[in-house]
């Protein structure tokens, strides 16, 4: 029996939604979705022109549209509409890599800076629909650039600043970006990230980029962002956008190697992130909200920038790591800025838990009233530590499940409405109808384990894979016809609570970052000494999942630590540090069927240390390979 924490009475009395309201609203949202979403759209979004149609299209055909005949602007909703009442309120609190680096930006100042950059982009010929790449560290200019693009209708593609030149080039070319906004370098955890060097390598074979805007430009080669903005007016009309106009492209790894350009559109994405931010985090006007995610990932888009700012919230941007200069940093920041809501990843919580309780206890954290987790399922024991040690048993923990492709949170507790079970994402959001399918794609009723799918479209569902709609259909809609296929498996208990149980496909979730095994394998095989590689995951106390690579060298190659170092360096160069394997096991061959297919199930078992039962191995071409792999398995560090 799972441990259950009752709804906090004090929290429930002040919450935006209570248990009874949630139950009634949820039933209504599923029974009459058009009326429900129409009401939410009027409540959460300011429109230039109204809609006649709430939603059309379906999950069978993949031609989904929400409010398609209406117009609005995302930046207007995040800034302009708040100026009459909130212009002097802090929009962005910035905490730099070093504790003394701080900045407060009001809604008025943010509006002016966004307008200046928007005008600057227009002066360079950027128009509605053009793609602009943002390759920046966690500095306010990243948020300014995103909002400036949204203001003029340009489609932004943010690339995580930890990605390599190769990964950057790949994304620039795929999105056909004409402008790149970047910086000389980034600082994180006391280390320097050479962004300018990566950019220069990326641009050697990237003809689509016509202009590079450099924040704090070190030379005359690139256009200086400050100079450009200072020459521009502080007002720029917000471009009226059709509801289905693209807002951004964000790349996420896939199981077939090439990253997928997930495309989100304007109205549905804004509505859903605005609504879910308000409900999941129980946002109140006095709150100081901190999402620790980087803008290079979807959490940074939805719940660091767009969701909070659309609600006129104060959002904290953090440029460092939770344990720099020491493991007390995250709690010191909470006290320093009087943070009330903290949203972070289980990876960070596990690392801080490993460092011990003393770093937590020497801080106050009295302002905290709500804790959240994102990126991967949280272990129950880690949940308990977060709840009791960090939140002192008074802060509800919202364990959220969602994806880059969903745009916003899909399953989560609602403070004041939902009981808490450590390790469970609990219940679906309003308007979201999940289901579990068995191996025959039949819906499982009641408790059970199966493929997690969503039965009906919701406003922030991705609309396509940029430039490859066929891949969108084949990846998300065809695997379970008539449903949105999440690629995750889940358990549902007797209370209807959902427990996420990992990926069904070959995508590894490292510290909340999804990495395709095929992409990593391709990077390994690009080393001249490697003939073949297969990558799987294994459990990691800090990262959740870590990368285990089985590598077959070319005949005659000497296997040693130097080769291992070169392979790791190759992966870092091609993808980035986050994709570097934790374990490399060299092998003369891989376990394959007679048709040549690698039996990854066996590799996963070996990586996990499960060496007794490999199931049916009758189709193996050479069963002795398994014994050799077991004998040569390196010890996990």
Q: What is the pLDDT of residue 3?
A: 87
The answer to whether 545 touches 137, Cβ cutoff 8 Å, is no
* pLDDT tens sequence across 494-525: 999 999 987 787 788 898 888 888 889 989 98
* pLDDT tens sequence across 590-600: 898 765 678 88
Of the candidates 174, 157, 156, the one whose C-alpha atom is nearest the C-alpha of residue 166 is 174
Beta partners for 397? 371
Preceding omega of 445 cis (within 30 degrees of 0): no
Of the candidates 299, 297, 354, the one whose C-alpha atom is nearest the C-alpha of residue 323 is 354
- Which one is predicted more confidently, 366 or 2? 366
Report the interhelical angle of 107-123 vs 140-152 (nearest 10°).
60
Q: Round to whole Å and give the CA distance between 346 and 512.
A: 8
Q: What is the pLDDT of residue 9?
A: 61
The answer to whether 605 touches 559, Cβ cutoff 8 Å, is no
* pLDDT tens sequence across 473-496: 999 999 999 999 999 989 999 999
Is the confidence at residue 558, as pLDDT, over 60?
yes
Q: What is the pLDDT of residue 128?
A: 98
Q: Is 422 exposed, middle or buried (0-12, 13-18, 19+ CB in 10 A)?
A: buried
Q: Tell me what the pLDDT averaged over the chain comes to.
A: 93
Mean pLDDT of 54-70: 95
Is the confidence at residue 613, as pLDDT, over 80?
no
Q: Round to whole Å and give the CA distance between 424 and 403.
A: 16
Mean pLDDT of 54-68: 95
Is the confidence at residue 607, as pLDDT, over 60?
yes
All domains of the chain, ordered by start, with CATH?
9-488 (3.40.50.12780), 527-632 (3.30.300.30)
Q: What is the pLDDT of residue 254?
A: 58
473: which DSSP letter? I
Q: What is the pLDDT of residue 151?
A: 98
Strand order in the sheet with 90-95: 102-106, 90-95, 314-318, 288-291, 341-344, 370-373, 397-399
Share of the chain above pLDDT 90, in %: 79
Of the candidates 338, 355, 426, 347, the one whose C-alpha atom is nearest the C-alpha of residue 389 is 355
* pLDDT tens sequence across 223-253: 999 999 999 999 999 999 999 999 999 998 7
What SS3 class is residue 572? helix
Mean pLDDT of 555-568: 93
Q: What is the pLDDT of residue 124?
A: 98
Ranking 160-164, 198-202, 291-295, 307-311 by mean pLDDT, the lowest is 160-164
Going by pLDDT thresholds of 50, 70 and 90, the confidence category of residue 611 is confident
CA geometry: angle 54, 56, 61, nearest 5 deg:
155
Share of the chain above pLDDT 70, in %: 96
Q: What is the pLDDT of residue 31?
A: 98
DSSP symbols for 448-516:
EEEEEEESS--TT---EETT-HHHHIIIIISTTTTSEEEEEEEEE-TTS-EEEEEESSSEEEETTEEEE
Of the candidates 216, 315, 304, 306, the one whose C-alpha atom is nearest the C-alpha of residue 269 is 306
390: which DSSP letter? I
* Residue that has been written with the tokens 């006391």 in this structure: 190
User: Which residues, including other chains, have CB under 8 Å from residue 378's CB and lie 6 or more apart?
Assistant: 346, 349, 386, 399, 422, 423
DSSP symbols for 160-172:
-TTB-HHHHHHHH
What SS3 class is residue 444? coil
Mean pLDDT of 377-382: 87
Q: Is 83 exposed, middle or buried (0-12, 13-18, 19+ CB in 10 A)?
A: middle
Going by pLDDT thresholds of 50, 70 and 90, the confidence category of residue 635 is confident
Q: What is the pLDDT of residue 377?
A: 86
Query: For residue 321, how many other CB atoms are within 10 A of its CB?
Result: 18
- Which one is predicted more confidently, 121 or 163? 121
Q: What is the pLDDT of residue 10?
A: 62
* pLDDT tens sequence across 334-362: 999 999 999 999 888 988 998 889 999 99
- Which one is predicted more confidently, 442 or 515? 442
Is the confidence at residue 637, as pLDDT, over 60?
no
The answer to whether 57 touches 457, Cβ cutoff 8 Å, is yes
538, containing H or E segment: strand 530-540
356, containing H or E segment: none
Q: What is the pLDDT of residue 441?
A: 95
Is the confidence at residue 1, as pLDDT, over 80?
no
pTM: 0.90
* pLDDT tens sequence across 130-167: 999 999 999 999 999 999 999 999 999 999 998 899 99
Q: Round to whole Å and give the CA distance between 202 and 223.
A: 17
Q: Round to whole Å and give the CA distance between 369 and 364.
A: 13
Going by pLDDT thresholds of 50, 70 and 90, the confidence category of residue 433 is very high
Q: E strands within 149-238?
A: 155-158, 179-183, 186-188, 191-193, 211-215, 223-224
Is the confidence at residue 621, as pLDDT, over 90?
no
Is the confidence at residue 255, as pLDDT, over 60?
no
Q: What is the pLDDT of residue 98?
A: 97
**Within 13 A of 286's CA, how many CA atoms are on the CB side?**
5
């Amino acid at each position: 029996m799972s441990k259950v924490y009752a709804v906090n009475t004090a929290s429930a009395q002040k919450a935006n939604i209570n248990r009874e309201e949630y139950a009634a609203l949820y039933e209504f949202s599923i029974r009459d979705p058009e009326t429900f979403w129409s009401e939410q759209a009027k409540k959460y979004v300011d429109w230039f022109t109204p809609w006649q149609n709430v939603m059309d299209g379906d999950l069978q055909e993949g031609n989904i549209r929400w409010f398609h005949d209406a117009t609005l602007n995302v930046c207007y909703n995040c800034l302009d509409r708040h100026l009459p009442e909130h212009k002097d309120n802090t929009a962005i609190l910035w905490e730099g890599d070093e504790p003394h680096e701080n900045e407060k930006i009001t809604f008025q100042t943010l509006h002016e800076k966004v307008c200046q950059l928007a005008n600057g982009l227009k002066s360079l010929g950027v128009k509605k629909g053009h793609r602009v790449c943002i390759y920046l560290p966690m500095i306010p200019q990243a948020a300014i650039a995103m909002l400036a693009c949204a203001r003029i209708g340009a489609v932004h593609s943010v690339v995580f600043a930890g990605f390599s030149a190769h990964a950057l080039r790949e994304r620039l070319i795929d999105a056909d970006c004409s402008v790149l906004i970047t910086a000389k370098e980034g600082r994180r955890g006391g280390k320097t990230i050479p962004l300018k060097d990566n950019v220069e390598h990326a641009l050697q074979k990237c003809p689509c980029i016509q202009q590079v805007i450099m924040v704090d430009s070190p030379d005359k080669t690139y256009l200086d962002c400050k100079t450009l903005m200072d020459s521009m007016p502080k007002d720029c009309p917000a471009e009226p956008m059709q509801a289905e106009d693209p807002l951004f492209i964000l790349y996420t790894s896939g199981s077939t190697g090439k990253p997928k350009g997930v495309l989100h559109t304007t109205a549905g994405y804004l509505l859903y992130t605005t609504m879910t931010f308000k409900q999941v985090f129980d946002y109140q006007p006095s709150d100081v909200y901190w999402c620790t995610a980087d803008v290079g990932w979807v959490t940074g888009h939805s719940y660091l920038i767009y969701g909070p700012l659309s609600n006129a919230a104060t959002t904290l941007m953090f440029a460092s790591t939770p344990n720099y200069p020491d493991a007390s940093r995250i709690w010191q920041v909470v006290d320093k800025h009087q943070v009330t809501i903290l949203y972070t990843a289980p990876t960070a919580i596990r690392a801080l838990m490993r460092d011990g309780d003393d770093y937590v206890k020497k801080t106050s954290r009295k302002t905290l009233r709500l804790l959240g987790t994102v990126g991967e399922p949280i272990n129950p024991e880690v949940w308990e530590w977060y709840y009791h040690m960090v939140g002192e048993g008074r802060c509800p923990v919202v364990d959220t499940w969602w994806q880059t492709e969903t745009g916003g949170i899909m399953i989560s507790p609602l403070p004041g409405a939902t009981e808490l079970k450590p390790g469970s994402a609990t219940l679906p959001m309003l308007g979201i109808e999940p289901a579990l399918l068995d191996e025959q794609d039949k819906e499982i009723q009641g408790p059970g384990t199966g493929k997690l799918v969503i039965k009906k479209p919701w406003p922030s569902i991705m609309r396509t894979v940029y430039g490859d709609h066929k891949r969108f259909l084949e990846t998300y809609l065809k695997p379970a016809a008539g449903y949105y296929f999440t690629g995750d498996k889940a358990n549902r208990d007797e209370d209807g609570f959902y427990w996420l149980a990992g990926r069904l496909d070959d995508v590894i979730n490292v510290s909340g970052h999804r990495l395709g095994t095929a992409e990593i394998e391709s990077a390994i095989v690009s080393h001249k000494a490697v003939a073949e590689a297969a990558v799987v995951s294994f459990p990691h106390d800090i990262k959740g999942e870590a990368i285990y690579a089985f590598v077959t060298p070319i005949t005659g190659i000497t296997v040693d630590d130097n080769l291992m170092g070169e392979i790791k360096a190759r992966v870092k160069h091609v993808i980035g540090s986050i994709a570097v394997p934790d374990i490399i096991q060299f092998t003369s061959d891989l376990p394959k069927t007679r048709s040549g297919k690698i039996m990854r199930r066996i590799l996963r078992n070996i990586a996990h240390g499960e060496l007794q039962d490999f199931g049916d191995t009758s189709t193996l071409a050479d069963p002795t390979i398994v014994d050799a792999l077991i004998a040569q398995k390196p010890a996990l560090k």
